[in-house]
Structure 1
């Protein structure tokens, strides 16, 4: 076989260095992509000033954009949906206020003003605004440790309103500064475990109401709760227990029936209100309040009183209110945005996450000034709103109007509402948050995510809500750091009868190319992982050389680095590639780069590393790089044979 049998590779495409851009222009592009990925300003381009003003108002007040297109058909649908969710909002508002250790009337106040604000500023058509269980529990757990709600009720309410104000400021700030991506650090696994643990604790704490106990622990861990229950066995009230079990059975039955027959969703939606009505009538007729069944008692009539002067900015507990506001604000924000996005995907429209944060923030700021505590978009209420056929956020206005009528005229009717019914309503709502199916799904797909989920659950149940949240977020951040600091490097091989090069671990049929080591770096290269990548590439080379020495007579001569997944690189990454190049030069190996991106090429060009590697050793694809290296290997091998034959002829 002569040299004529080895045809040189085709003329490969060159990897071009992108034209230089001014630093501040590049920085502006990066900031814009980070903070304004949705490009909210594109609609303002080439518009007259008056039009820009109108568009600006519509952007910050979305109701101005869709209200001109609102029809009577939409109103009929929103009217039915609003009345339906109002029937759920009234009992839930009272129940969750008690969960937060607040007067029940504040729960009703919180279902009046915030929905009106959200209807003006929110971008979701389906979100129904109201109080939520987990932040209510958090407020009680965090505030109750420092200020006892029974011993100092006025200060406690003031601190809760102050915490709500700080939560609103924090939420609105995230939206205005376009920092909503911070909420994404609460992963799906974290939320599943955290919500499940919080729901478990909430259900256990409601045993106080079910069993008719007067004194109960303010701790949220399961050990303290169970100790408080079983050390007061002699104080259990069988009347309260029987009533609670009956209403729990009723609520679970209606939930099961509505799940089996979705067309009758309204039965489950009306179940909490009918439970309140039936419980109140039963207590009134039997005078059960005289036999150990506690009732709500007097609720004053009238709309929300102003509470701006009640905000405790001068209190020594101000930092406690600030911490509580930020933590509960993040949880409420994460739940509300997630719920809004979920229902938006069902109807094939988009919601603006930053607008939602501004809307949540403004409604909580306004709420804190009108005797409301923290609100968001609870899943249960939003699901009822969605199933009831709502068309726009007007359903929130209808709900607020229904709550207003309740506050003005109907509050005396709740005097005989038994607390055990409220406990049953909370338990029935919280059971749905214990998503064991999602946990099982996580265990099948990703064991690490399952570990995050279980850690959050255990932290909440056996520690506290704050501990569980900290553990879950810490583990999630640890995972992110590990992915950055220890990125994967994959050995590639050739798929037989093709020009494709794929991971040998994923495709066992892929074969190594003798004398060529092909590696793919599967992450951006930063200072945090540059040293590890240098050491890992060196180990790959050592392992490949040892394998070739023991199995074939071919020596390793080329190392191809597939950089297609390396989106960005910093100076530490450039230094790493330079050190790898020097190491290969000492070993008489050739470094070859395949498919480096524009950012990588720009940094390599400015550091003069392209000249050191050689432009001829930078290729558009792994296939081209492997073909060129393979051609050179065969060329060297053929030249070696020719030289050996010439030497033999001379000896003869």
Structure 2
């Protein structure tokens, strides 16, 4: 076989109906680079609506793109306002107790939770593209802010500095989020896979629940660490300090909150029962403390809340070099988590109502509302799932529901803050625990186990890292495993042996379709990924092993000796110079064995590079086929017309 003649007979093209694969026309480098950058950063082509429009129309469209409220605002109706009014008041009843609770979770004054539910929702209503997202503080973001800043400054020792660093971290979070949107870098958030988010959110929710043991048990001193072991040690070394009054009150309200959620899930029309439960808990808890003077018997209360509208805090931003790195780090980490949660929630509800969410516009909106918030005494805000679900179920039509909520919150901190004086902290802890239990999505984790074991490992790594180490470790571990998986996909792509589906010209994996037929004398391999420097060596070795295995199989069965190797390159979207070198080496290895290499269906980008590298001249363009069926037909024709059939004994002696 080493002297095999693979020249085509004169009537080969007409006999096999062989069509040559076209090489794309050459394209200027600048134009090629422009197209690549456009697909990377502008896959949605946001400028298409501006094409062929007069200047005045372009200006109006530009304003509508930046401020979506200008697009849907002129079509706003009284019917929409009625629905948004009900939804806004409903989510305000949830936002007020949650805002106060989550501010305590971030070790910040409770009033900041109300401030953060006023300015940011107004900004989002003007710039956001979601109709259903309800903006406000989030538990995970609050916990992250509290734990990361506490590593630098103790909120009890220097509350003023701690507060200023929280504003500064929020400013950097907004700057980072807006930057991602402006520079079209939203794909960075995609590295937080679904499994990563499920595990991280579940772990963070568990940590948040553990932290609330301080309030439920009425403990004065508590660990600043967030890991399970430290929290349990802090709880059980202070058994003598547990206050039964606080524990009973906390368990009663937690039971009420969970029961109300259970009924709301059973009957979605009764969603308002669960939505109103936190506010009702605050009212009942405050009345109970006021009437029984429980604050004198170990039940801690919020105390005096400052009345008045958000004070300016732009002068409080702290860019001191001693704390700048901590503020930037906190801002970036919390900003990414807030984006991942907010965009995922917005897209989920947009899918139900069949409209589109622009991820980059959402990032800009999130960024601007956090920048504005940092200058008006607010800390990190996003689009929490619980509040957005209530907004959706309440029948909101547009982002005006956020405006209604913001106005309701404004009325609260202008006139109603004295009513929260007797609100027991244990009730706030119960509200947080009830909200967090909904984030521990064990059903999805079980689903991941059944569908994809590696995704389950990523999910559990994030969960265990957060619960047993800290939030940063869990996040880094989960993202690291996700990136490792991407690298493994690239570095170890699948190669499959293809066979013919009976009575068809279709070729599929012999492992997937057991009824496929082998083509005598022909080995068909499919490469299921782009060919890059990271996988070229692996593919060369893998193809060689496939050929060795096929030859061993042929020798033992006595079939026609292997003479042709076909590489199906349908899934090879691109190739680099290392990949081309690999193909050249594979061709030499194959030819040294007395075999012939053929390629099936290489894409335009691959053909362009194969042509420029002169590989097409080496292999011969007549050995490049449109389909696997064309390649098999040509090889079979050559076997029957130009070469005598060989037994395995003859094949072995030639080799």
TM superposition shift of 1:549: 1.3
Aligned residue for 2:251? 245
Q: 2:593 aligns with which of 563, 569, 587?
A: 587
Q: 2:323 aligns with which of 317, 334, 340?
A: 317
CA distance in 2, matches of 1:546, 1:634: 23
> Which is further off, 251-260 or 503-512?
503-512
CA distance in 1, matches of 2:595, 2:26: 32
Aligned residue for 1:563? 569
CA distance in 2, matches of 1:639, 1:577: 28
> Which is further off, 499-508 or 91-100?
499-508
Report SS of the residue matched to 2:21: coil
Aligned residue for 1:167? 173
Q: Does residue 332 of structure 1 match 2:322?
A: no
TM-score norm. by structure 2 comes to 0.96
Q: 1:12 aligns with which of 15, 18, 29?
A: 18
Say if 1:456 and 1:468, in contact at 8 Å, map to a contact too.
yes
TM superposition shift of 1:10: 2.9
The 5-angstrom pairing of residues 306-455 of structure 1 reads 306-455=312-461
Count of residues in correspondence between the two structures? 638
- Compared with structure 1, are the counterparts of its residues 100 and 517 closer, same or farther at alpha carbon in structure 2 (3 Å cutoff)? same
Q: Does residue 108 of structure 1 match 2:96?
A: no
Say if 2:561 and 2:646, in contact at 8 Å, map to a contact too.
no
Q: 1:26 aligns with which of 24, 32, 44?
A: 32
CA distance in 2, matches of 1:615, 1:143: 64
> Which is further off, 391-400 or 313-322?
313-322
Q: 1:282 aligns with which of 288, 292, 302?
A: 288
Aligned residue for 1:197? 203
Q: Which consecutive unaligned segments of at least 5 residues does structure 2 have?
A: 1-8, 651-655
Aligned residue for 2:4? none
TM superposition shift of 1:314: 2.0
CA distance in 2, matches of 1:9, 1:256: 72
Q: Does residue 53 of structure 1 match 2:51?
A: no
Report SS of the residue matched to 1:93: helix
The 5-angstrom pairing of residues 506-585 of structure 1 reads 506-585=512-591
Say if 1:8 and 1:631, in contact at 8 Å, map to a contact too.
no
- Compared with structure 1, are the counterparts of its residues 143 and 575 closer, same or farther at alpha carbon in structure 2 (3 Å cutoff)? same
Aligned residues: CA RMSD: 1.5
User: CA offsets, 1:532-571, max 9 Å, x none?
Assistant: 1111111111111111112214211000000000011111
The 5-angstrom pairing of residues 174-213 of structure 1 reads 174-213=180-219
Say if 2:164 and 2:316, in contact at 8 Å, map to a contact too.
yes
Report SS of the residue matched to 2:322: coil
Say if 1:116 and 1:400, in contact at 8 Å, map to a contact too.
yes
Say if 1:485 and 1:532, in contact at 8 Å, map to a contact too.
yes
CA distance in 1, matches of 2:526, 2:560: 22
TM superposition shift of 1:489: 0.5
Say if 1:9 and 1:627, in contact at 8 Å, map to a contact too.
no
Q: Does residue 77 of structure 1 match 2:79?
A: no
Q: 2:150 aligns with which of 130, 134, 144?
A: 144
Say if 2:16 and 2:633, in contact at 8 Å, map to a contact too.
no
Aligned residue for 1:599? 605
- Compared with structure 1, are the counterparts of its residues 640 and 226 closer, same or farther at alpha carbon in structure 2 (3 Å cutoff)? closer
Q: 1:68 aligns with which of 74, 89, 106?
A: 74
Say if 1:116 and 1:397, in contact at 8 Å, map to a contact too.
yes
Report SS of the residue matched to 2:629: helix
CA distance in 2, matches of 1:450, 1:222: 21
Say if 2:13 and 2:19, in contact at 8 Å, map to a contact too.
no
Report SS of the residue matched to 1:596: coil
- Compared with structure 1, are the counterparts of its residues 239 and 261 closer, same or farther at alpha carbon in structure 2 (3 Å cutoff)? same
Report SS of the residue matched to 2:16: coil
Q: 2:479 aligns with which of 473, 483, 486?
A: 473
Say if 2:285 and 2:424, in contact at 8 Å, map to a contact too.
yes
Q: 1:86 aligns with which of 76, 88, 92?
A: 92
Report SS of the residue matched to 1:329: helix
TM-score norm. by structure 1 comes to 0.96
- Compared with structure 1, are the counterparts of its residues 368 and 639 closer, same or farther at alpha carbon in structure 2 (3 Å cutoff)? closer
Aligned residue for 2:653? none
- Compared with structure 1, are the counterparts of its residues 230 and 639 closer, same or farther at alpha carbon in structure 2 (3 Å cutoff)? closer
> Which is further off, 558-567 or 492-501?
492-501
Q: Does residue 44 of structure 1 match 2:50?
A: yes
Aligned residue for 1:95? 101
CA distance in 2, matches of 1:307, 1:67: 31
> Which is further off, 582-591 or 397-406?
582-591
CA distance in 2, matches of 1:410, 1:7: 87
Report SS of the residue matched to 1:316: helix
Aligned residue for 1:650? none
CA distance in 2, matches of 1:337, 1:8: 56
Say if 1:493 and 1:504, in contact at 8 Å, map to a contact too.
yes
User: CA offsets, 1:334-381, max 9 Å, x none?
Assistant: 000000000000000001000000000000000000000000000000
User: CA offsets, 1:430-458, max 9 Å, x none?
Assistant: 00000000000000000000000011110
CA distance in 1, matches of 2:356, 2:646: 66
Aligned residue for 1:649? none
